[in-house]
């Protein structure tokens, strides 16, 4: 199976998955463009009907008690959302301590220990570094001064 292939989302609860992403996106009380873009991309990756996406976008308006919200979610959903949530937290280039705190709570209920959590953070960091080399391969500058 390809990473994040749409079939990967067949084994998770979509509502819970998107709620976890919303928790992480809202953790620092600032929703940045990169985070919103990632949130939207996950809905597209799950092939969610565009009419239903507005319901998931509304999750971004809620405040959450992380522990109370995630404690009854299944581990498969939490684990996939944890991985993608770490990516979401890092997408804007800075990870806020409140995002880290939410991620640690989610990891606890997902049954992910600290060592595995470090591996996921490293995987995300490596992925972001890998993706950042793409524009230079095409000799495209990403700043607006061009």
Closest CA to 63 of 90, 33, 25, 101: 25
> CA-CA distances (angstroms) from residue 87 to 30, 51, 102, 145?
16, 25, 13, 28
The Cα 95–Cα 97 span in angstroms is: 7
Q: What per-residue confidence (pLDDT) applies to 1?
A: 43
Per-residue model confidence as pLDDT tens digits over 8-48 = 666 789 999 999 999 999 999 989 999 999 999 999 988 89
Per-residue model confidence as pLDDT tens digits over 71-121 = 999 999 999 999 999 999 999 888 999 999 999 999 999 999 999 999 999
pTM (predicted TM-score): 0.86
Please say whether the beta carbons of 76 and 12 come within 8 A: yes
* % of the chain beyond a pLDDT of 70: 89
Q: Is 29 helix (H, G, I), strand (E, B) or coil?
A: coil
For the chain, the structural domain boundaries read 6-137
CATH 1.10.3680.10 fits 6-137, yes or no: yes
**Confidence at 132, pLDDT banded by 50, 70, 90:** confident
Q: Is 121 helix (H, G, I), strand (E, B) or coil?
A: helix
Which residues, 6 or more positions from 35, have their beta carbon under 8 angstroms from its beta carbon?
A: 25, 88, 89, 91, 92
Whether the per-residue pLDDT at 129 is higher than 60: the answer is yes
Closest CA to 71 of 114, 108, 98: 108
Look-up: residue for tokens 């993608």? Answer: 84
Residues in the chain: 146
């Amino acid at each position: 199976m390809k990473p994040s292939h749409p079939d990967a989302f067949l084994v998770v609860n979509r509502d819970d998955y998107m709620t976890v992403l919303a928790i992480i996106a809202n953790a620092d009380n600032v929703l940045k463009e990169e985070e919103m873009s990632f949130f939207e991309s996950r809905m597209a990756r799950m092939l969610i009907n565009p009419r239903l996406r507005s319901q998931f976008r509304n999750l971004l308006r809620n405040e959450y008690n992380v522990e109370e919200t995630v404690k009854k979610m299944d581990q498969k959903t939490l684990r996939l959302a944890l991985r993608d949530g770490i990516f979401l937290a890092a997408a804007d280039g800075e990870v806020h301590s409140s995002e880290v705190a939410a991620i640690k709570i989610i990891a606890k209920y997902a049954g992910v220990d600290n060592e595995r959590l470090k591996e996921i953070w490293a995987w995300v960091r490596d992925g972001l570094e890998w993706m950042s080399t793409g524009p230079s391969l095409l000799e495209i500058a990403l700043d607006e001064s061009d």
